[in-house]
Amino acid sequence: MAKAAITVKKLHYTYPNSTNEALHNVSLTIKEQEFVAIIGQTGSGKSTLVSLIDGLIKPSSGELNVVAGLEINATTKTEYLSKIHHQVGFVFQFPEQQLFAETVAEDIAFGPHNLGWPAKKIEKAVDEALKMVDLPLELKSHSPFALSGGQMRRVAIAGVLAMDPQILILDEPTAGLDTQATNDLLKLIKDLNEKGTTIIMVTHQMEQVAYYANHVIAMSNGQVVADTTPQQLFRDAQRLKKLSLTLPVSVEVAQFLSKDGITLKNTEPLTLDVLADEIAEAMRRKRK
């Protein structure tokens, strides 16, 4: 059995300038090497939850364990929180907006430099991170601002990967990208996951949940309202509707077909490929 990468116990969080709880009694476990999708409407608490996991803020009460031994609760000293950043990489929404350096190499080196790594180790980390995001090493001396939108986002992500995080949080990583850049970036995230990185991705796209995640956490009003597999989640269309969440197209088509008397063996085909296979199989059965 995979070990727990993150354990959250009875977590509550209220922003200092607010009287309402942004998170209420959240408990969950994320195992090593899972690909977790966090979903829910705007204001449901997704960003607050991932900020707590990254040690950007401290719980008001309850506790978190991030990777073996790093515990955070309301009394944790702020200096201690920086330890979390060594283990957990955070790719913010539109991360390219945070690019600042004159060259791609300097930008990617910023995080490792802050960790106090020696120059040789930083150089190696920059090269490896560029390779991971599938950008040519020639770009190192270029200005990040001369690149395309998709490339800028990759440079920003390389800056996080250069610190070799065991856990990578991505807040809507494909927002604003075209279809090609979206698919390329998701493939990259999937590759990282397959090589061992635990992925936590905030997304509004149910297709991304269906194609990539093996664990999905749905939030509503600061609470976890579903903590399950995509297959299980998409089985309950009524519940999704209540949460104002949609079904992936492939599952929706399967449900339409079922209403027309064509029942697929797999009632929640998570991808269009699976849907096509299921329809072909149902047709064969019908002809017999």
Residues found near ligand ADP in the complex (CB under 6 A): 15, 17-18, 22, 40, 42-48
For 166, residues 6+ apart whose C-beta sits below 8 A from its C-beta are 5, 32, 67, 87, 88, 196, 197, 198
Q: Kindly tell me which of 58 and 140 has the beta carbon lying closer to ligand ADP.
A: 58
Please classify residue 264 by burial: count the beta carbons closer than 10 Å to its beta carbon, then call 0-12 exposed, 13-18 middle and 19+ buried.
buried
Closer residue to ligand ADP in complex, CB, 18/180: 18
CB 207 within 8 A of CB 153: no
For the CB of residue 61, give the shortest distance to ligand ADP in the complex, in Å: 16
Nearer to ligand ADP, 22 or 67 (CB): 22
Least Å distance between CB 85 and ligand ADP? 19
Q: Supply the minimum distance, in Å, between the C-beta of residue 8 and ligand ADP.
A: 14
Least distance in Å: CB of 279 to ligand ADP?
A: 35
CB of 236 to ligand ADP, least distance (A): 21
Q: Which is nearer to ligand ADP, 16 or 136 (CB)?
A: 16
Residue 33 or 48: the one with the smaller Cβ distance to ligand ADP is 48
**Which CB sits closer to ligand ADP, 40 or 248?**
40
Q: Which amino acid is at 193?
A: N
Question: Whole-number minimum distance, CB 60 to ligand ADP, in Å?
Answer: 12
Rounded to a whole number of angstroms, the minimum distance from the CB of residue 206 to ligand ADP is 16
Which CB atom, from 147 or from 213, has the smaller least distance to ligand ADP?
213
Nearer Cβ to ligand ADP (44/250)? 44
CA gap 236, 79 in Å, rounded: 44
Min dist. Cβ of residue 220 to ligand ADP (A):
9
